[in-house]
Amino acid sequence: MHGISPQQFAGSVASFLWPYYLALAAMNGIFAYYLWQKSENRPFFSLPTPGFAFRFTPALLWTIVAIVYVFLASLAIGAHLESMPQVPQGFRDFVNASSKATIYSLGTTAVLVVLYLFRSWFVRPMVAWSIWNLMLLFLGLSMPDPNFFSIVAKPDNVPIVALVFLLAFFTWLAAYRAVENDRRMDEGLPPVEKLDDEKVLVWPDLVYTEMICMIALSAVLIFWAIWLQAPLEEPASSVKTPNPSKAPWYFLGLQEMLVYYDPWMAGVVLPSLIIVGLMAIPYIDFNKQGNGYYTIRERRFAYITFQLGFLELWVTLIVLGTLLRGPNWNFFGPYEYWDAHKVEALTNVNMSEYFWQYWLHRSLPTAPPNSTWSTQLGYILLREAPGIILVLGYFIMLPPLMAVTVLRRYYQRMGFIRYMVLANLLLFMAALPIKMVLRWTINLKYLIAIPEYFLNF
């Protein structure tokens, strides 16, 4: 933190942390109470102690966790950084040293895959609640780190932190219900939603729910507004460029794509395709099942594709772009100081250079000086031929190829036009991770590089 003294910093951390830990304590306390009220509070184990049986139940576990949080809150309230519990320095150094855009992207992908494959274990309330607690605890323990704090507590970044937790919660909720429904349907039972078929009057049932929602939400907004002041920096100046210059957070996924694609792709073509692709979903998803209830098994392809697009390519890129990209759009670990002088060696190579120079050991084809416009174009096309062939092959050859192989069933059910829309959308979506991997593995800059016509792909 710059411009404020360590005491002030400790003070602002403490003023966040102690209410935070108390809220977590309350959350666990309420959960424990709820479990205790329910009959199915089966003990993890019982100790046959003399006199009475000591039963270690979930309710007891979460009560203990709640007490630990109260203890953490009491440590934080003193506003002494030394006494605040925090993640060990060694761990922070390790995370900083090992985090890179590659590790981050592959890591989040791996996590999502594992969560998906073992979803019936992860959605179990005890497991999910433990993970939930660990996520929140991790945030709390990281806050005393000045670098972490200065990124996460930046007023305009608070919504993203909220988004991550909300998405974790709602993804759990949906998956929990889907797993339950899938199990029921295996047993020949209808989905749980079917059980609530009975009709109720909107007044009072819905109208009151809405009113309570509105009051709760107003309260949240008012507290948020009092607690956190809206940011206002220095007056605008066209000469002082901030470093990094970032778009609003919800567009940072697109800004992150700029690392891999030129603006015409990352800023215009891909966003337009996202909108078009979203609109096309109802017309290309011909699966009649899974309408009006949570399920994964009955619409596995749609589910996986959407989650890949939304959670992986949209949300994790936003998190990366907002929290982990610092000056010069360099990657910084979560506990790393945003050093404007950090240099990252960039030696990216174009496909044409690979082809002509590295493999054929020749110079790039260049038009003779003073040649006509069309000769020049011819030379450009020759120079970029390898990339052009690859890209055209990708977009022209793959759809029919997939139609007779992996997506055969889809092609037969969908007809030509709908199938082509689906296939092309999928290919464009896959183009981003493919380009990422090419960049990480062979430092590929552009498959097609025609700066003469501003056409780099």
Partner 1 sequence: MARLGEIIYESQIWKSIFRHPMPVDRRNRIVVMLTNFFLHLHPVSIKKQGIALSYTWCMGGVTFFLFLVETVTGVLLMFYYRPTLEWAYNDILALRDIYSLGIMREIHRWGAHAMVITVWLHMYRVFLTGSYKPPREFNWVIGVILLLLTLLLSFTGYLLPWDQLAVWAITVGSNMARATPILGHEGPGHQFLTLGYPMITSGTDARFALLGARNVGEETLNRFYILHCIAIPLAVSLLLAIHFWRVRKDGGISGPL
Instruction: Fill in the per-residue mask, 136 to 165: x = in contact with partner 1 (CB under 8 A), - = not in contact.
Output: --------------------x-xx--xx--
237 near partner 1, rule: CB under 8 A: yes
Report the C-alpha gap between 331 and 102 in whole angstroms.
10
Q: Return the structure tokens found at 428.
A: 């464009």
Residue choice 116, 310, 394, 428 for contact with partner 1 (CB under 8 A) = 310
26 near partner 1, rule: CB under 8 A: no
- Three-state secondary-structure class, residue 49: coil
Question: Which residue's entry shows tokens 């930046």?
Answer: 154
Residues 259-298 that bind partner 1 (CB under 8 A): 262-264, 266-269, 275, 278-279, 281-283, 285, 287-295
Question: At what angle are helices 300-307 and 101-117 packed, to 10 degrees?
Answer: 150
Residue choice 250, 301, 337, 359 for contact with partner 1 (CB under 8 A) = 250
394 near partner 1, rule: CB under 8 A: no
328 near partner 1, rule: CB under 8 A: no
Which of these segments, 36-44, 51-59, 132-140, 249-257, binds partner 1 (CB under 8 A)?
Answer: 249-257
Residue choice 34, 54, 224, 301 for contact with partner 1 (CB under 8 A) = 224
Q: Measured from the CB atom, is 121 or 264 closer to partner 1?
A: 264
Which of these segments, 96-104, 106-114, 239-247, 380-388, binds partner 1 (CB under 8 A)?
Answer: 239-247
Q: Is the CB of residue 10 less than 8 Å from the CB of residue 80?
A: yes
Report the C-alpha gap between 193 and 196 in whole angstroms.
6
344 near partner 1, rule: CB under 8 A: no
Report the C-alpha gap between 124 and 126 in whole angstroms.
6
The values of phi and psi at residue 247, to 5°, are -70, 170
242 near partner 1, rule: CB under 8 A: yes
Kind plus residue range of the DSSP H or E element containing 151:
helix 146-152
206 near partner 1, rule: CB under 8 A: yes
The values of phi and psi at residue 104, to 5°, are -60, -50
Residue choice 110, 117, 221, 392 for contact with partner 1 (CB under 8 A) = 221
Residues 422-451 that bind partner 1 (CB under 8 A): 450
Residue choice 36, 122, 306, 379 for contact with partner 1 (CB under 8 A) = 306
239 near partner 1, rule: CB under 8 A: no
194 near partner 1, rule: CB under 8 A: yes
177 near partner 1, rule: CB under 8 A: yes
229 near partner 1, rule: CB under 8 A: yes
First-to-last alpha carbon distance for the chain, in angstroms, is 40
DSSP letter, residue 41: -
Q: Measured from the CB atom, is 311 or 349 closer to partner 1?
A: 311
Question: At what angle are helices 316-323 and 158-186 packed, to 10 degrees?
Answer: 160
Concatenate the DSSP letters of all residues of 71-116 into one string. HHHHHHHT--GGGS----HHHHHHHHHH--HHHHHHHHHHHHHHHH
Report the C-alpha gap between 355 and 387 in whole angstroms.
9
Which of these segments, 8-16, 172-180, 355-363, 417-425, binds partner 1 (CB under 8 A)?
Answer: 172-180
Residue choice 52, 197, 347, 362 for contact with partner 1 (CB under 8 A) = 197
Residue choice 168, 247, 259, 390 for contact with partner 1 (CB under 8 A) = 247
Q: Is the CB of residue 354 less than 8 Å from the CB of residue 390?
A: no
299 near partner 1, rule: CB under 8 A: yes
Kind plus residue range of the DSSP H or E element containing 456:
strand 455-456
378 near partner 1, rule: CB under 8 A: no
- Three-state secondary-structure class, residue 238: coil
- Kindly state the smallest distance separating residue 390's Cβ from partner 1, in Å: 18
